[in-house]
Amino acid sequence: MFTPSHLRELWGYRNLIGKLAWSDFKLRYKNSVLGFFWTLLEPLLMLLVLYVVFSHLMRIQVEYYQLFLLLGIVLWNFLARGTTMSIFGIIGKPSLVQKVYFPRDILIISACVTALMMTLLELLVFAVFMVIFKVVPSAAILYSPLIFLLLFVMVLGLSLGLSALNVYFRDVQFIWNVVLQAGFFATPILYPITIFPDNLQRVVMLNPMARIISMLRDCTLYRRAPLPEDMGYVILSAVFILLVGYLIFDRLEPKFAEEI
């Protein structure tokens, strides 16, 4: 599937990917009074609840904790939203899969792009809050696009594998919801990684999502460039997840129409 001819084929369908992504984006808020504003309100409402609980009740001392928490929520929402939308990318469009020929992974890529569009709006809100809190980034923020690209690659790889498996085993969607709920609390989103002893920190940081969130916080809020070992680990993890996801998708794709 990673052949040059397939990549050229995907590039030829780039307009279709864009149209599908934009269509899903608009459809998500159809007949909603607030419409696209829900994209901005969801993380802000979640931030409000979690900030009250973890800032006042648990007394967590973190510099710029509001921004620390908001960025973690936005990044985790991208992972959760991208994979959750993609997991129905094949079974949710049976007429397209059964009657029209095109590379099926386009449906998954477009779902991830839709999630990306929503996340970019949330990041604009985050940027506004940085201005409000007078956080002046350093040159380290230039690493942020690369780190976020690696996050997108990881989300795409997970989405490809999960969407293909969900065609054959519908339990996958329910299991993944449980994994996401557990992962939210197991990843340093609400708290800094430093609350753990050193040996446990190493275990938590085996999760590439934990490193991505930590690196992006360092780049944007704390004026620190990512460590080479952290960047290398995330690159290898993202590429590995993408390869495994594509292999699963490629192996199971031939019988999608029959299974649906």
Convert the pLDDT of each residue in 215-254 to its tens digit.
999 999 999 999 999 999 999 999 999 999 999 999 999 8
Element (H, E) at 249: helix 228-252
Report if residue 251 sits inside a domain. yes
**Please, which pLDDT band fits residue 130 given cuts at 50, 70 and 90?**
very high
Residue-number span of the structural domain to which 142 is assigned: 13-259
> Is 3 inside any structural domain?
no
Name the nearest CA neighbour of 121 among 35, 52, 222, 234.
Answer: 35
- The answer to whether residue 1 sits within a structural domain is no
Average pLDDT of 20-28? Answer: 81
Comparing 95 with 139, the larger pLDDT belongs to 139
Residue 14 pLDDT exceeds 90? no
Does residue 2 belong to any structural domain of this protein? no
- Whether 218 is covered by a domain: the verdict is yes
**Average pLDDT value for residue range 68-96:** 91
* Mean pLDDT value across residues 141-161: 97
Q: Is residue 7 part of a domain?
A: no
| pLDDT value, residue 57 | 59
pLDDT for 98 equals: 77
DSSP secondary structure letters along 77-133: HHHHHHHHHHTTTTTT-HHHHHH--S-THHHHHHHHHHHHHHHHHHHHHHHHHHHHT
Q: Are 123 and 43 in contact (CB under 8 A)?
A: no
Q: Is residue 6, in this structure, part of any structural domain at all? A: no
What's the mean pLDDT when you consider all of the chain? Answer: 87
Band of residue 179 on the pLDDT scale cut at 50, 70, 90: very high
Six token digits for residue 179: 């994994």
Token readout for 130 is 């940085």
User: With 60 as the cut, is the pLDDT of residue 33 above it?
Assistant: no
Which residues 6+ apart lie within 8 Å of 161 measured at CB?
244, 245, 248, 249
Asked, for residue 161, whether it belongs to a domain, the answer is yes
Quick one: what percent of the chain has pLDDT higher than 90? 56
Number of structural domains found in the chain: 1
Is the model's pLDDT at 259 over the cut of 80? no
